Amino acid sequence: MSTDQRKTALVTGASRGIGRASAIALARAGFDVAVSARTLVDGSGRDMYDPELAIPGGLDTTVAAIEAEGGRGFAFVMDLLDRASVNACVADATERLGHLDVLVNNAIYQGKVSMTPFTELDEPEVHKLFEGNVFAQMAITEQVLAAMAGRGSGTIINMISASAYTDPPGPIGKGGWGMAYAMSKAAFSRMTPHLHVEHGGDGIRCFSIDPGYVITEAARARNTAGSFPYPGGEPATIGAVVAWLATSPDADQHLGGIVYAQSEYHKQGLSEAD
């Protein structure tokens, strides 16, 4: 497929995990892909809770994987708490790719209070959670939306969390999660239905993905893969669903709604397509 026939995508938070898998799956489906994250070079990322712990993954290896699938890949360093870098990433990605057919809002900010009980919350840190999990995504989407609507087509995929609408099965450390993180993800989860109502008529396809519990490189590095009382999925499973949403008209049954990725993966037979 020539470069002028390939579609284009921006995937945020793509140095590792779900974002990396989504970028690779989109490249395999015929997309050129811009990717963003804070970690440019594989192995240079550090755990926010333990600065001595290296977390595998980097935009450099994601781009290499995109190119191995036949796509063009472009890496942009972006920090969700740095609005200038957020704006520059979208502008630069659009310039390099020419336009954006797909936006995958995958990047998140976890911060120091993501797993903190209510009585121990620090309000400025909660503000950072909302900046990184709500306001940055609003800024990214706003920049992309106008151009998509002008072309009469575009797909926006928002990676949400069950913490947005599910009661924790137990306290933190026993299967539960922090309230502040859940509040930020709940606010973000409302973006998809409202975009669908307001811009579905402009040709904008909007989906939310609930990935379920996914065992990422970070979880393995922290040795926390078994910390929840239910099995975890693989990033590649979520990536396959992202590519399906971006390319299949059958996905339109989920417009404006939530796609439960791990069950949809099997329902659509995506494992057979790997």
Query: Residue 116's domain is classified under what CATH number?
Result: 3.40.50.720
Q: Does residue 262 fall inside a structural domain?
A: yes
Could you tell me the pTM of the whole model? 0.91
Judge contact between 233 and 213, C-beta under 8 A.
yes
Q: Which single residue is written with the structure tokens 């989906």?
A: 207
Q: Does residue 2 fall inside a structural domain?
A: no
The string of pLDDT tens digits covering residues 66-108 is 999 999 999 999 999 999 999 999 999 999 999 999 999 999 9
Q: Range of 98's domain? A: 7-273
Q: Does residue 236 fall inside a structural domain?
A: yes
Q: How many structural domains compose the chain?
A: 1
The string of pLDDT tens digits covering residues 179-192 is 999 999 999 999 99
SS3 labels along 79-128: CCCCHHHHHHHHHHHHHHHCCCCEEEECCCCCCCCCCCCHHHCCHHHHHH
Q: Does residue 1 fall inside a structural domain?
A: no
The pLDDT-based confidence of 6 (bands split at 50, 70, 90) is confident
Q: What are the tokens at 97?
A: 């790719």
Positive or negative, the Cα torsion across 196, 199, 205, 209?
A: negative
Q: Which string of b and e fits 234-270 if b means at least 16 CB within 10 Å?
A: ebbbbbbbbbbbbbeeebeebbbebbbbbebbeebeb
The pLDDT-based confidence of 5 (bands split at 50, 70, 90) is confident
Q: Does residue 112 fall inside a structural domain?
A: yes
